[in-house]
Amino acid sequence: MTAAASEPGVESAGNRAAIREWVGMAVVGGLSVVVDFGVFNLLLHVGASPAIANLTALVVATLAAFVGNLRWTFSHREIGDPKRALILFFVVNVVSAGVVQVAVMGAALVSVDVAWLNGVKLAATVLATVARFWLYRSLVYR
């Protein structure tokens, strides 16, 4: 244990910060998921392929998440070089979007039923969100 961590309140302050960030990212992420699924289903409804619908929805939702996380969730952190943060955010989200895209496309090989595609997309999105939170805290906004 470090000297700072042994001081009263230091560990609980760190825990409170982590909880605040988790809640903030959950709110921003929740709103981004609404955007993501809204755009995805709108595009499916107008006849877009699952690949185009998903990719477009992911891009729009990622932009919404970047703005929300930058301005609210992690606004209290010194991010150093904003270009570095933006590049890392982009890389983390491209990899994450790629994982979700592969999951949706794999699911589409089984069935193009909208409920099935949404279920697979939801499961992949939840797993990707947990990974992104850890990467945002440890890499992007440090």
pLDDT by position in tens, the chain (length 142): 444 445 555 567 778 888 999 999 999 989 999 999 999 999 999 999 999 999 999 889 988 888 898 889 998 888 888 778 878 988 998 999 899 999 999 999 999 999 999 999 999 989 998 899 899 989 998 7
pLDDT digits (tens, 9 = 90+) for 29-67: 899 999 999 999 999 999 999 999 999 998 899 888 888
Q: CB under 8 Å to 108, separation ≥6 — which residues?
A: 50, 51, 117
Which one-letter amino acid corresponds to residue 36? Answer: D
Q: CB under 8 Å to 31, separation ≥6 — which residues?
A: 64, 68
* DSSP notation for 73-119: ITTTS--S-HHHHHHHHHHHHHHHHHHHHHHHHHHHHH---HHHHHH
